[in-house]
Structure 1
């Protein structure tokens, strides 16, 4: 497919909303809390993506949510989750936790142990309201994500999606969103094909080498020829079904990348 039918709009890391609270260092891709920008309110059903680092023995105390699908992608350290449904979980690298808040839940998320936790907190808008709250966890190994786009979150009715709390395959989300993850080796590439005409995709390069509020550095990829580094993202608009969205690792180290198919 012609690359001219795929439009890339970068969202560079240093342009994201950013707050340093001492115990919490966070970046906001879309408007959140004290960062409000009318240009960045949502992207399809994606509403929040925060890249958070929380110091040891700190975290988000018990608070409530409703009518959001909330998932956490753990990059490093350990994250302790507790909620009003009775779930208690310590999540590590490779884990994804998904809470379907529905009619309402309360939860807390705090660092477990003596090491900083680095994770991405992602919220999506569900396809229907007043759902019964539910909780799911999934684990994916480094090998499963190595040099491929592994689907780790998918709409609840998709083929291969289990509704078990700790089932295999993608975590089930009540939103029209699929999330793919890859750990891309130096010199390797992966290709995602637009699932339909006028498809929307968001790509994010995780800031794995450490907190950096300045211009991006570290792992480097090219997204259909547009260079992105750690913390950078990009909005992708594909005109035709089957259009190729190509991620090339052109840097000197592994790149951990998330790709969202959204509606």
Structure 2
């Protein structure tokens, strides 16, 4: 196979690390906590994709982080965030919160109210160390994602990424990472052209597990990911696919099932 040919490597949901702690039901795409996989430690600057469900009135107590860019993408329910920078916020569906931990922060995250909160915790490695900690929130409605890519995270150097606590457009990240989200209707498809930025450019496609916690073979929405020169990959909820040699590639994501698919597309180095 030619070196510059796009390559797909599926990441089935039932092969992810997962645990049911009662108060927390979680999946780990990459090595995290007690789950360790030498084959799945990171992908470019992307270090963590955890899909968490936290029971009402429970959550992660105050703990420390440093030298990571940490995102919370809320799927359902409400997430209470508190941190050592003085930020207190209740995040709801459509909200994206980013903490640039830099030289160090402490925070806690809890389910707010009487319903479970389902969210994705995403970490990226920053391009430089010893950054001043920062906090950003953005909101992207279902309408903004319906059958189109909503650009929700962009490198802080990108013109679209505004360095403000609250603003429209993508949240800024101190890493070579962009993140797009869509709510894709049945029989609809979207294309995305990966930036042509050298041989190190990568992508990752993840289908959010919206139908409920399922540690077995994935069910729910079904999408097909394709690109010229690569064999198509079919993904169900919770599944993902690594895209290697992605520089300049045109990726197509098609909903081939009978339900709406919530899809995240990462592009990174």
- TM-score of the pair, normalised by structure 1: 0.97
> Is the Cα contact below 8 Å between 1:5 and 1:240 reproduced in 2?
no
Secondary structure of 1:5's aligned partner: coil
Distance 2:58 2:159 in 1: 39
State the 1:240 CA deviation: 5.0
Aligned match of 2:256: 250
Alignment of 1:17-166 (within 5 A): 17-166=17-166
Q: Does 1:194 align with 2:200?
A: no
Moved over 3 A (4+): none
Distance 1:130 1:251 in 2: 46
> Is the Cα contact below 8 Å between 2:67 and 2:129 reproduced in 1?
yes
State the 1:239 CA deviation: 5.2
Distance 2:181 2:5 in 1: 24
Distance 2:182 2:120 in 1: 15
Distance 2:52 2:180 in 1: 20
CA deviation vs aligned residue, 1:44-89 (integer Å, no higher than 9, x gap): 0001110000000000000000000000000000000000000000
Aligned match of 2:218: 216
State the 1:245 CA deviation: 0.6
Secondary structure of 2:62's aligned partner: strand
Structure 1: state its 5+ residue gaps. Answer: none
State the 1:194 CA deviation: 1.9
Distance 2:79 2:181 in 1: 19
Over 3 Å counting, the alpha-carbon distance change for 1:149 and 1:238 in structure 2 is farther
> Is the Cα contact below 8 Å between 1:68 and 1:100 reproduced in 2?
yes
Alpha-carbon RMSD across the aligned residues, in angstroms, is 1.0
- TM-score of the pair, normalised by structure 2: 0.94
Over 3 Å counting, the alpha-carbon distance change for 1:240 and 1:48 in structure 2 is closer
Distance 1:194 1:33 in 2: 32
> Is the Cα contact below 8 Å between 1:201 and 1:260 reproduced in 2?
yes
Distance 1:227 1:50 in 2: 21
Secondary structure of 2:56's aligned partner: coil
State the 1:150 CA deviation: 1.3
Structure 2: state its 5+ residue gaps. Answer: 227-231
Secondary structure of 1:253's aligned partner: coil
Over 3 Å counting, the alpha-carbon distance change for 1:240 and 1:121 in structure 2 is closer
Distance 1:187 1:244 in 2: 19
> Is the Cα contact below 8 Å between 1:6 and 1:245 reproduced in 2?
no
Distance 1:46 1:147 in 2: 25
Distance 1:76 1:22 in 2: 18
